[in-house]
Amino acid sequence: MTRICMSLALLGIVLFTIGTAGASAAAAPAEAAAAAPELTDPGAPAEAIAHWRGLRFGMFIHWGPVALTGHEIGWSRGRETPIKEYDQLYKRFNPTDFNADEWVATAKAAGMKYMVITTKHHDGFCLWPSDVTDYDIGGSPFGRDVLKELSAACRKGGIEFGTYYSVCDWHHPAFPRGSPGGRTKKPTADLDAYDKYLRAQVKELVTRYGPLLVLWFDVPQVYTEDYGIPMVRMLRGLQPNIIVNNRAYAAAGRKKGFSHQTQVGDYTTPEQRVGGFDRDRPWETCMTICRQWAWKPNDTLKSLEQCIQILVRTAGGDGNLLLNVGPTADGRIEKRQIDRLKQIGDWLGTYGESIYGTRGGPFKPGPFGASTCKANRVYLHVLAWPGGEVRLPPLPRKVTAAGVLGGGKAEVDQTDEGLVVHVPESDRKDIDTIVTLDLDGPALAIEPVAWSSGSLATGAKATASNVFAKQAREYGPAKAVDDDQTTRWATDAGTREAWMQVDLGKPTAIGRAVIDEATRFGGGRVRKFRLEVRNGKDWEPVLEGTTIGRNFEKTFGPVTARHVRLTILEAVEGPTIWEFQLFAK
């Protein structure tokens, strides 16, 4: 297996501290670091992180006695399920169909290279027989050591094994916060005692089931870095090449404890969304294949197209994807989920070279799709063909050959203005057409370039009738004209009418609009809208419509105008717009 040996890992630490990229340095200020070295986290060796990054795609598993209820793990304690009842579920937890080899086979069939399982979620239940609590699998009728069986099956099957461990524990009397949702305070709070408990448990995880690929911590709440950094250092002492995410402790100076973007630990963890392009700081998106983390009957399953798009946009942003399944109380992964995972694996079987071991870029993700690269080759993942072609900014390297992965013809026009890529419709693939661009030099050396829509409204001065919570910097109308598909103009909850307008600077001929409305689970909020241009004091409509949705596109006029307004006349909830674009034709 590809695991690096101990001495190499130690060498990695030395190399790291004398100056590799700041990827894993803890956020402690320099003076504090000098005064109290135990308060800095040296981070994982660069080789270990590079190895983890190359795996690209892993399986997240959320499982426990909560599966008996079909409600959300941790969060439903004291909400959907009374605390007393929730805490007794484990006495009925008997997943006799659990077969570690089958789970590993499912992960392998999906093309996944690693697995991370909830060894203990916020509800405090432990999936392994821990020496320091009886609230564990040993106290269930099942009695088997799930982690032992799963870690052994992973090793046998060539899947790397990692453990999720929730720092907050709303069940343990010493952890200061309790259910529901970690909002209550416990009279028995004793963070020092809890720290001992946590340390004993993570030590069990590493020493019994390791070496672990990763320790995936979550929701530290009041567990601050004065506890967390020494704890992480202890882990790194036990296993020098272990990778630790950014949720092991509340970073200094953060009122709310942590955010998914917190720059501590080895990597950042955008949750339930694809992270933004970032090659400097390692990251991993965690996302559910349905909606709930834990098993829920008839939960809405993501389509194959959604799954592939998520994987491609993640790899294209230079991130990993940890896709979650929630097994049932019988110990099985639902058949429909296994089928979907197999479909993903079949796709990867054909196109895996464009994902595994690649880096994101050089084109940052855009509406066309995303790009990955390896050696002298760029994999252009085309997920949409607006206008029948892909227009990209210029590359400082010559494209010497182009093709379509899996067969097909690609035509590339390369000029100083950029690249135009054509693939005949008959050669395009259902979900993702992967155009290979072979360059006359290494692709990774190219400074990442942002895709540009060519919209006449890009960067224009924008104003709006309403901005969500008055947070103009995050949700202002400028976010709809910034060519960044991950930011949006949002309005307050309950807004039924709103407008945003752009000043194009000078009278400009326009004849086509593209409006990308944010939708949740498929539906938009707008029911009636108008596109208007200013003529003196009046606004004249050039386009009228009902719903907008994702990537609405329509030609009109053309007209010449300087001020253009999107007027939403009717919405079922506060409308929100990813992008508002105008073109001459």
Footprint of ligand H79 on this chain (CB under 6 A)?
A: 62, 72, 74-75, 218-219, 271, 286, 293
Closer residue to ligand H79, CB minimum distance, 219 or 251: 219
Q: Looking at beta carbons only, is 218 or 579 nearer to ligand H79?
A: 218
Which residue in 574, 342, 364 sits closest to 471, CA to CA?
574
Cβ nearer to ligand H79, comparing 265 with 367: 265
For residue 319, the minimal CB distance to ligand H79 (Å) is: 15
Q: Residue type at 470?
A: K
Q: 287 or 480: whose CB is closer to ligand H79?
A: 287
Q: Which residue lies nearer to ligand H79 by CB, 113 or 120?
A: 120
Closest CB 54 distance from ligand H79, rounded Å: 23
- The candidate with the shortest Cα–Cα distance to 112, out of 323, 406, 401, is 323
* Residue 387 CA from chain centroid, whole number: 29
Minimum CB distance to ligand H79, residue 256 (Å): 11
CA–CA gap between residue 182 and residue 449 (Å, rounded): 42
User: In terms of CB distance, is 286 or 566 closer to ligand H79?
Assistant: 286
Least gap, CB of 296 to ligand H79 (angstroms): 11
Report the residue number whose CB is nearest to ligand H79: 75
Shortest Å distance, C-beta 218 to ligand H79: 5
Of 62 and 525, nearer to ligand H79 (C-beta) is 62
Quote the least distance from Cβ 127 to ligand H79, whole Å: 14
Name the token pair of 418.
């950029």
Cα–Cα distance for residue pair 540/560, rounded to 1 Å? 12
Whether cis (ω within 30° of 0) applies to the bond prior to 141 is no
CB of 66 to ligand H79, least distance (A): 11
Residue whose CB is less far from ligand H79, 73 or 456: 73
- Let me know: does 176 contact 185? Beta carbons within 8 Å: yes
Residue 62 Cβ vs ligand H79, minimum distance, rounded to whole Å: 6
Amino acid at position 329, single letter: A
| Token pair belonging to 475 | 């949700």
CB 356 within 8 A of CB 113: yes
| Helical residues (DSSP H) of 239-299, grouped into ranges | none
CB of 29 to ligand H79, least distance (A): 28
Of 208, 68, 196, the closest CA to residue 128 belongs to 208
Question: Per-residue DSSP letters for 35-99?
Answer: H-GGG------HHHHHHHHHH-EEEEE--SGGGGTTS-TTTTBTTTB-HHHHTTGGGG---TT--
* Closer Cβ to ligand H79, 292 or 455, answer by number: 292
Q: Shortest gap between Cβ of 217 and ligand H79 (angstroms)? A: 10
Residue 105 near residue 207 (C-beta atoms within 8 A)? no
Structure tokens at 314: 């993640």
Task: Please answer whether residues 569 and 498 qualify as being in contact, where contact means their C-beta atoms are separated by less than 8 angstroms.
Answer: no
Q: Which is nearer to ligand H79, 299 or 389 (CB)?
A: 299
Q: Could you tell me if 573 and 521 are in contact, meaning their C-beta atoms sit under 8 angstroms apart?
A: no
Cα distance from N-terminal residue to C-terminal residue, the chain = 55
